[in-house]
Amino acid sequence: MTVRYTKDHEYVRIDGDVAVVGISDYAQGQLGDVVFVELPEIGKSVTRGKEAAVVESVKAASEVYAPISGEVVEVNSELEGAPGLVNEDAEGKGWFLKLKVTKPDELSELMDEAAYKAFVDTL
């Protein structure tokens, strides 16, 4: 399975033609306690670099950008009652949404895990 990251700290995990999107473990650590996640409607088209969701910590709201373009096919409804999953397991159970990828070549512009790690180390 391929995982890629953006400089804005979203991740996308490719599983066949479906992409699982969320925020990185580094991002959840920076945000602090997540108290609410606003997810898009199923069927919505999202464009790479544009808002796909909103994550709210105790302190502030942050936009989550789509790391890759696609159509929303599923959202993580567990986050509604348990937004803390984002803190506990950002890159696992704390995923935000699944996309049917429309522009797979966009993936090549994202960082792989090693590159993202190196990027985070510079912050």
Residues that bind another protein (CB under 8 A): 8-10, 23, 27, 32-33, 35-36, 38, 54-65, 80, 83
For 40-54, b/e burial (b = at least 16 CB within 10 A) is: beeeeebebeeebbe
Whether the Cβ atoms of residue 66 and residue 49 lie closer than 8 Å to each other: yes
Shortest Å, Cβ 4 to another protein? 15
Element (H, E) at 86: helix 85-88
**Residue of 66, 12, 15 lying closest to 39 (CA atoms):** 66
Q: What CA–CA distance (Å, rounded) separates 87 from 82?
A: 10
Question: Looking at beta carbons only, is 59 or 103 nearer to another protein?
Answer: 59
Question: Looking at beta carbons only, is 58 or 118 nearer to another protein?
Answer: 58
As a whole number of angstroms, the longest Cα–Cα distance in the chain is: 37
Shortest Å, Cβ 108 to another protein? 21
Question: Looking at beta carbons only, is 17 or 44 nearer to another protein?
Answer: 44
Shortest Å, Cβ 112 to another protein? 19
Shortest Å, Cβ 80 to another protein? 7
Question: Looking at beta carbons only, is 7 or 17 nearer to another protein?
Answer: 7
